[in-house]
A and B are shown apart, each in its own frame.
Chain A
């Protein structure tokens, strides 16, 4: 499942970040910001139009991502370590 498909308020765990094309700077930046396998993640809000952007809680930090960015992040529902 993709982060963009995650329902609001549901806890999930990041399964990985996919690069789009070669040398995907956005995917690299997502990893630098803490979107790495095993991190717990939660969607805390969605923008007023078209459900975009997403406000995402990862660790103690919150980020606003557009859907194209959130589509790079795979998540899995389930137990949070």
Chain B
């Protein structure tokens, strides 16, 4: 690549189609990272124009104004002003505006123009504007603004050609008259003047939005549609993903067997097969579920539906100390708390964001499902309740509800605890509905998959190796009897842990099995299998069930189920909280309250079950 790449920055309101334009310009030549010290996504890409010129494109976070109210807007403001410590000022700012939403977006153009820096305007979504009967005289608009205005259609091939040609030919001629700072009312007056001169607007808002919102924002129908969508989504996550998960599982097992046959007996083979392959495989299995969930979330997000869901749920969530905006992160947390906590970045209000991050681990992530399945299968009889409901299904459902109710309760207590009287605004745009473009969907999914895989390659790999070490050393002395695990560090730790866990009904074997679950909760199943000296293969769960049913009391099983509702011991979740909040204190609070709740709830369950005669 040429070293003389031109630095340009895309800047614009949220929902202006800026990211679609970025995707169209740069394709897959993108790099996603964070701005130093803050959890704001920094997206950069590059492309070469037909004329052979190289461009480096920065996709700045969406902002409504330079009068910043969120971390994202602060970054955008600082970069546009050339005051960001780590980011060079762009050589050209390309302000992206939605042709169907000019009244809002032109105001931001005026605000940026007052900076007096080289800029041009990309008038995006010209196709949608034409469909709605909005006619824009680009030449008049350009003359009125004193800036180049280029029409773009980000979703169409070749839809950015005119923009790129204009970039190639760009030369900045500052118009001194335009760089005057206007007051807020003056800016709106100027926008009205520009609209009157350059734009013919139809009298009515588009019928599609009107009709859809009449149903989707309706107090009864809106809730019904939301409930139906959620139902379909969870069905898909658990049913469609199953064959893919089986395939990954089989492939990992085959890789383990192959590696086992390839290497001589020794610590290296044990490390690779029992540690690295088994550990990474246990987590990789969840990739299909996460991708299916994110396909749904991206579809709902790109189509403009998610803010409507936030609208419907805002009051309920606000009374518990969250916000309608918390809906998306909490929804993602049903697949895995890690992407859920990362999605909380979209919440501008710091209190709402922190509360969302702290309760996200209470959503029943898919890693808990294998544990629930094992314990329910072993201890809850397969019986019909009220003729139609299945008792096992009912218990599983109530565990999910238990998590959600706990999350609302915890958020409520945190709100009370802080005696927070400050105001936390919603001010949420409900963008026009649009059909999601496959390119944007695929790029979004690819991004999520990479984040997940990087996590698997980093912290989970390290934890897996550490736990393998604890479980394998020191080795069993020659001639000793019993399980090798008894002699390992993990075994000793397990025995020591019973001091703490005996009151909630956990014996030393459960305690040992809990240690590896720190890397991934679903490892509980395979580690119980190891402890019970059952061959850890595909039949582990089936072989394990009768053993557990014989060995444990019902009270112990229920106590362990309730423990897993809170399950504070997921290291990846805690590491993500650390990264997203930049604070060990918040990690301590999260781990502390989850542990306390898990212990108390399990204790209460155990005692109650004993009292009812389930010992």
Contact = CB atoms under 8 A, between A and B. Distances in A.
Does A pair with B? yes
Interface of A: 25-26, 28-34, 36-37, 39, 44-50, 52-53, 55, 57, 59-66, 68-69
Interface in B198-220: 201, 205, 209-210, 213-214, 217-220
Given A29-B65, A61-B104, 13 more contacts: A25-B67, A30-B427, A32-B107, A37-B185, A44-B217, A47-B315, A48-B219, A48-B315, A50-B315, A60-B100, A63-B430, A66-B314, A68-B423
B527 to A, nearest CB: 44
A52 B431 CA distance: 19
Interface stretch (B135-143, B305-313, B455-463): B305-313
A5 B375 CA distance: 54
B96 to A, nearest CB: 16
Nearest to A57: B205
A53 B311 contact: yes
Interface string B71-100: 000000000000000000000000000001
B416 interface: no
Contacts of B430: 55, 62-64
Contacts of A68: 423, 425
B218 A29 contact: no
Interface of B: 64-65, 67, 69, 100-104, 107, 184-185, 188, 201, 205, 209-210, 213-214, 217-220, 222-223, 307, 310-312, 314-316, 318, 324, 423, 425-431
Given A32-B184, A45-B217, A64 B314 contact: yes
* Most central of A48, A50, A57, A59 by chain B CB within 10 Å: A48
Contacts, number: 115
Nearest to B216: A45
9 contacts: A29-B427, A34-B103, A37-B185, A61-B103, A61-B429, A63-B428, A63-B429, A64-B429, A65-B426
A64 B428 contact: yes
A33 B220 CA distance: 29
Contacts of B184: 28, 31-32, 36
A61 B213 CA distance: 13
Contacts of A46: 219
* Most central of A37, A50, A63, A65 by chain B CB within 10 Å: A63
Contacts of A50: 315
A76 B217 CA distance: 25
B213 A45 contact: yes
B425 to A, nearest CB: 5
Contact of B318 (A30, A39, A61, A66): A66
* Most central of B184, B188, B214, B222 by chain A CB within 10 Å: B188
B310 A36 contact: no
Contact of B218 (A36, A45, A53, A59): A45
B531 to A, nearest CB: 48
B318 to A, nearest CB: 7
B429 A36 contact: no
Contacts of B310: 64
Contacts of A48: 219-220, 222-223, 312, 315
A74 B131 CA distance: 34
Contacts of B219: 46-48
A57 B543 CA distance: 61
A5 B168 CA distance: 53
B427 A63 contact: yes
Given A52-B315, A64-B310, A69 B104 contact: no
8 A-B pairs closest in CB distance = A45-B217, A48-B219, A59-B103, A62-B430, A32-B65, A64-B428, A49-B315, A64-B311
Contacts of A64: 307, 310-311, 314, 324, 426-430
B69 A53 contact: no
A25 B222 CA distance: 31
A50 B220 CA distance: 14
B347 to A, nearest CB: 14
A29 B184 CA distance: 10
A63 B318 CA distance: 17
* Most central of B217, B311, B431 by chain A CB within 10 Å: B311
A68 B424 CA distance: 10
A55 B310 CA distance: 11
A33 B64 contact: yes
B204 to A, nearest CB: 10
A26 B423 contact: yes
Nearest to A52: B315
A19 B356 CA distance: 29
Contacts of A61: 101, 103-104, 429
A24 B310 CA distance: 24
A44 B65 CA distance: 25
Given A64-B324, A66-B314, A29 B423 contact: no
Nearest to B132: A60
A65 B427 contact: yes
Contacts of B65: 29, 32
A62 B209 contact: yes
A53 B426 contact: yes
B429 A49 contact: no
B427 A33 contact: yes
A41 to B, nearest CB: 12
